[in-house]
Amino acid sequence: MREGYDAPPLNPIPGVVWLILLPIVAMELVVSAGTLGIAGGATGVGWRQEALQRFALSPEMLDQMIGTGRWTWDYLMRFISYGFVHGSFTHALLAAVFILAMGKFVAEIFSPWSVLAVFFIPLALGGVAYSLIPGVKMALFGAYPGAYGLIGAFTFIIWARLGAENANRARAFTLIAFLLGIQLIFGVIFGGSPDWVADLVGFAAGFGLSFLVGPGGPAHLLRAIRQR
């Protein structure tokens, strides 16, 4: 057999990316089947709303825990679980595309536990930041803050490569500037909740964590400090 002809037709997705993605896909398949009437009968139509009530993050939850001093598991879980339920099939599909694209790129360079860190920690921190916005009542849901954490790690990789080439490192932030610009434009035109704050915090957390969990670990951070 000639060299290259036994290569898989699609580049394999690292297992850690599937570990993140499969719960999102499973949740969406179930609630979409209910919405379309394929499963659950008459009650299936309400499965998405039920999932949102059970897993989405209400900004008031953090206020209640701080005010009462009671840190309940149900509320704490929401800072992660909100990332696995979405408002629509399209909402979930776009999140999955980001996770696949960014996750594959990052997982080819970062260790599996590092990939998990730059997804789940930004997801949680994005939920905290959203909960601290004054006057916000709308619940937060969707994997985007975690996906933006992966974008932060992707940006770190590009930023490090540009630095090694003595190129303009500001170019590494082109993608995040474009994505946040689109979000702000849609927010101004169509309104809605300021969930872009959670995305921005997710990105910043993913980028910052990469100095600690990326290849080279804290040594990267020390070199960056010395170069300043």
The ranges assigned to domains in the chain are 15-227
Q: Alpha-carbon distance 183 to 91, whole Å?
A: 14
pTM for the structure as a whole:
0.88
208 Cβ contact partners less than 8 Å away, ≥ 6 residues apart: 152
CB burial of residue 80 (10 Å; 0-12, 13-18, 19+):
middle
pLDDT given for residue 179 in this prediction: 83
Give tens-digit pLDDT for 137-157.
899 999 999 999 999 999 999
Give tens-digit pLDDT for 93-142.
999 999 999 999 999 999 999 999 999 999 999 999 999 999 888 999 99
Q: Which CATH class for the 15-227 domain?
A: mainly alpha
